[in-house]
Amino acid sequence: MPRTELTRMGIALAVAVVAMSFLALDAVDFNSGAIKQRIETAQASIVHVAMSHHDLASAVEAWTRRDHQKQPSAIE
pLDDT digits (tens, 9 = 90+) for 17-32: 988 888 887 777 666 6
- pLDDT for residue 75 is more than 70: no
Instruction: List strand residue ranges (DSSP E) for 1-76, in order.
Output: none
- The whole-number pLDDT of residue 71 equals 55
CA distance 12 to 20: 12
- The whole-number pLDDT of residue 31 equals 67
CA distance 45 to 58: 20
pLDDT digits (tens, 9 = 90+) for 10-68: 899 999 998 888 888 777 766 667 778 887 888 888 888 777 776 777 777 788 877 66
Tell me the whole-structure pTM to 2 decimals: 0.37
